[in-house]
Chain A
Amino acid sequence: MSLNIATGVANSSLGANSEQIAVLSRNIARAGEANASRKTVNLVTTGDGGVRAASITRASNQALFVNSLTARSAAASHQAITSSLNQLERTINDPELDASPAALIEKLGSDLQQYATTPGDITVAKSTVLTAKKLAVSLNEATSITQAVRKDADAGIAEAVTRVNELLRQFGKANETIVKGVQSGADVTDALDERDSLLASVSELIGVRPLNRAGGDMALYTDGGVTLFETTARTVQFTATSMFTAGIQGGSVTIDGVPVTGSSAAMPISSGKIYGLTQVRDDYAVSYQRQLDETARALVDIFRETDQSATPLLADATGLFTYSGAPAIPGTGTIVNGVAASIAVNPAVDPDLGGSAKLLRDSGVNGAAYVYNATSASGFSDRLLTLSDALGANRPFDAVAGLETSANVRGFSASSVAWLSEARKTASEDMDYSETMMQRSGEALSSATGVNIDQEMTRMLEVERSYAASAKLIAAIDGMFETLLAAAG
């Protein structure tokens, strides 16, 4: 080996060492980043015995990465469900405050009993009507909160869809950089990190399955198998609904022309924030709204008035409680959407609106034919006792509400509260579990592919030594040339 080649070799070693230091500093600088992976320089021996940095590779573990994506999607869907159910639970309120529909139905029952014992006491009559008004208002408010939760969920879906489209666009750019870089042998490790991080963001919104293809290319499919990205990003479409009332269905999300949420979904998604929000909008909130509507319908039904004529000709009509379909009585055992939104105390009974609270005892809101207390006796309590009994009597409820089909209105309302609490508790537990899973899988991935500062420092010392040795070698060769030149004089 000639001195020239020896210089070249020492020089190549310096070059390779500086390349390694550059990569080490990149590693150390990104040590705190969650998605940063450890990069290493691959050295190869060259033809003349020197060394060169052939490529830069990064630590990766596909199985752990896919696990962490799945855990992320599951956690995101449970988080969305839990936070929405927490909002819904506001409708139950603090049971101590007695402002929930269930508590007010109980109170109405006891007020009626008290009024039945003192049918002549106008104060008790007024307080009973007041309770009925509070009950109607609480059902109205619960409905508006429930529909607001649905609207928020719908808006959340629209926002998530916009975000997915944007992320897929960025994913496309990163993917193109990688494909090009792999072809030309450029360092694509940073682009790979970026693509992984974008993928993690997408997986929070929609459950994804990545498919690695030749040349560093990647295709994305939803957990239901719909194409999200293949060479180019597919369009994710969603039209937000501007107004929600009971019975209105929200739009469905379509990806690549295939509906992935809603009842018509051919290849439904099963995790991610969009899935969670859809569950809230189309499932939890809808069921709860149906329970409220059924409760309201039962109340309207219980307080109905019947024609008291010797030969009844007139149809039954709404009494204390009225609603948008009044004076007709809603059908038995069948859901009527929107009753809870429009239920109100009949103005004829409401003293605040110039009505008479005594009509509660006597009836006849709909005219003389419906008056139960024909003689206007102040001690007439039959009607009040009938009403009080009806509150405790079993009646049919529509199965679509998801609760028992035969129950008294008090029990039904209490079941509804229990149903919501149970759903919230389950969702909260699922969320805790999936968040733990997400943390664990993230830690596993990080320890497999992340940067370890200690390791980097050790590597740095090694590189430093090697650099010093190469520099020393160059100095020695220089000394040898000095000697030769001195001889040449």
Chain B
Amino acid sequence: MAAQANRLGTVADNIANGSTAGYKRASAEFSSFILESGVSDYQSGSVETNIRYGVSEQGALSYTSSITDLAVRGDGFFVVSGSDAQPMLTRAGSFVEDGEGNLVNAGGFKLMGYSLVNGAPSAVANGAAGLEAINLGSVGMQANPSTEGNLYVNVDADAALVAAANLPSANATTAAFSSKTSLIAYDNLGREVTLDVYFTKTAANAWEVAAFDQSGAATGGGFPYSAAAVLADDALAFDPATGKLTAANAQSLTIPVPNGGSLVLDLSQTTQLAANYTVLSAKVDGNAPSSVSEVQIGEDGTMFIVFQDGSRVAGYQIPLATVRSPDNLDPLAGNVYMPSIDSGDMLIGFADQGGFGAIVSGAIEQSTVDLATELTAMIESQRNYTVNSKVFQTGAELIDVLVNLKR
């Protein structure tokens, strides 16, 4: 009867946590307790209860509208820490940002991760070293100088020739050019630098590309630029047969951005065909300093910080942990588990790698409790309890009979 009461207890817990995210259902397993008995007499034993948790059972994912709601599809657990900074495991991923910028789940546990701000994380496979609480507030204003980009254009093969003295690279007042485009690049402090890029035909199939800082242009734009604004120039030779840059020609232009890095501008797909000047592709990396607009979490657990201007950088990587025997984890209040002797040690890795599973953003893992199963278990326990009480009653009646014999 005590065993059935235990079982009812698990049923009650399960039903109560039927809607708790990341809850793994508990079950009472029984084993018989048998006393030594002879052939002719039966020593009645009893039943022993073992409480099991179906930790490894995958719960259904329910999708939400919050990006920081996370779920694991697979075997891994999130590493969280409570108030005592002890790393623990959980599947309850309904994280929200608290007042200090930490991501905290419904149980009050902080999500842990590796910071990517200073490069790739040095994960330790069997320990929580290097992990820190993910703090969105710590990723403040960030600016990235431009270092690479591309500019693919078609220059008009029939453009007029420009005399050597009037080339943009000579930077004279009389400078002439065939085509011009401008690109936004960023310096070390994230200031926007507008680069003027001129394409000028110097001879048949020969062009000059020259880059200037627009802020140094003459009044009203154009030549001559101030000496500091003259950045780079190079000759381009096109193959008359294909209209493409010749293989021998440099495929890129390195532009020293004022107060910034060296911008390698790829020109490899620039062509010279008998068509109007057309920009086919123009792109320069880098971003201006702007505050965090929102976060975004990839399947591999990389947390991207999206800035106000739309650019994004990887801020943290959320690791996943697992143990050899998840079902033997030690459950604690708040849907967290501690590795125990039975479960084996914590192994830390990343999502999408070696059996840790994938992280799904914008979803939470539902409780694995199935109400119908629990109700059925309840009915079964009730019947068992009733039958047990009948045995008890019968025993009591037998004793009554025995007592009456003596009178």
A contacts, CB < 8 Å to B: 2-5, 8, 12, 46-48, 50, 52, 176, 179-180, 182-185, 209, 211, 213-215, 217, 219, 221, 224-227, 230-232, 234, 237, 254, 256-258, 266-267, 480-481, 484-485, 487-488
Contact = CB atoms under 8 A, between A and B. Distances in A.
A165 to B, nearest CB: 15
B342 interface: no
Contacts of A256: 180, 182, 196, 221
A47 B73 contact: yes
Interface in B336-386: 363, 366, 369-373, 375-376, 378-379, 382
Contacts of A12: 62-63
Given A4-B369, A225-B179, A484-B375, A47 B296 contact: no
A201 B372 CA distance: 61
Contact of A225 (B277, B312, B363): B277
Contacts of B378: 488
B61 A48 contact: yes
Given A227-B181, A256-B182, A2 B220 contact: no
Interface stretch (B77-85, B92-100, B253-261, B278-286): B278-286
A4 B276 contact: no
B214 interface: yes
Given A184-B306, A484-B376, A46 B371 contact: no
Contacts of A230: 181-184, 282
Kindly list the 9 A-B residue pairs having the minimum CB-CB distance in the complex, ordered from nearest: A257-B221, A179-B310, A48-B60, A2-B370, A225-B277, A231-B184, A180-B310, A227-B182, A52-B63
B48 interface: no
Contacts of B61: 46-48
A234 B182 contact: yes
Given A225-B277, A226-B180, A2 B310 contact: no
Nearest to A480: B372
B375 A219 contact: no
A417 B32 CA distance: 118
A258 B222 contact: yes
Nearest to B312: A183
A488 B379 contact: yes
Contact of A481 (B192, B217, B277, B371): B371
Interface string B175-214: 0110111111000000010101000000000000000001
Nearest to A9: B60
Nearest to A185: B296
A43 B327 CA distance: 35
Contact of A46 (B63, B281, B304): B63
A230 B281 CA distance: 11
Contacts of B278: 209, 221, 225
Given A3-B371, A226-B180, A230-B184, A214 B283 contact: yes
Contacts of B194: 232
B279 A266 contact: no
A7 to B, nearest CB: 9
A267 B182 CA distance: 14
B294 A225 contact: no
Interface in B146-164: none
A214 to B, nearest CB: 7
A6 to B, nearest CB: 10
A211 B153 CA distance: 12
A2 B277 CA distance: 64
Interface string B261-289: 00000000000000011111111100000
A450 B391 CA distance: 78
A254 B293 CA distance: 36
A339 B268 CA distance: 58
A184 B304 CA distance: 10
Nearest to B196: A257
A3 to B, nearest CB: 5
A179 B309 CA distance: 8
B18 interface: yes
A3 B374 CA distance: 11
11 contacts: A5-B370, A47-B60, A47-B73, A183-B306, A209-B279, A221-B279, A227-B279, A231-B192, A256-B196, A257-B196, A266-B176
Contacts of B375: 481, 484-485, 488
A133 B18 CA distance: 103
